[in-house]
Amino acid sequence: MATLTRIRSTSATQPDTAGLAHKGLAAFFRIAERWQLTARQQQIVLGQPARSTFFKWKSGQPGAIGKDTLERLSYIVGIYKALQILIPRADLADAWITRPNDAPLFNGQPPIAMLTEGSVASLYRVRAYLDAQRGGWG
């Protein structure tokens, strides 16, 4: 009986990764459209899934995705949210990603250059920068 209880409590606390994948990817593609990212940029930000996988995801058929992709989606949604807080005009918040930025982190490059380096760490750095700007992390 103790084993059954342990199994029930464990499964009750496990995240619904399929549901998270579907919602996260839907949010990502809406954000990517607002940011005017190319399909190639989107693939890189998502961790360079196979082309067929990428287009399945884009058509709303996420299937199972890995922890790496879920983490990437979390960072992108966090970046988007932070921009909406820091820059209340949606058009300017969306444009921030592609405009040159003189902050030392970006060295005059647009943030999209860092986001498309391909690493999760790059997404983290942009997210941490924005959170620090709004007084969250630091």
Chain segment 25-67, per-residue pLDDT in tens: 999 999 999 999 999 999 999 999 999 999 999 998 877 788 9
Residue 9: its pLDDT value, please? 38
Does residue 76 lie within any of the structural domains?
A: yes
Kindly provide the b/e burial profile for residues 80-113, where b requires at least 16 CB atoms within 10 angstroms of the residue's own CB: bbbbeeeeeeeeebbbbbeeebeeeebeeebbbb
Does residue 9 lie within any of the structural domains?
A: no
Number of domains in the chain: 1
Does residue 75 lie within any of the structural domains?
A: yes
Residue 27: its pLDDT value, please? 96
Global confidence as pTM: 0.84
Does residue 138 lie within any of the structural domains?
A: no
* Structural domain boundaries enclosing 52: 18-133
pLDDT in tens, 123-137: 999 999 999 998 855
Task: Report which of residues 44 and 12 the model is more confident about.
Answer: 44
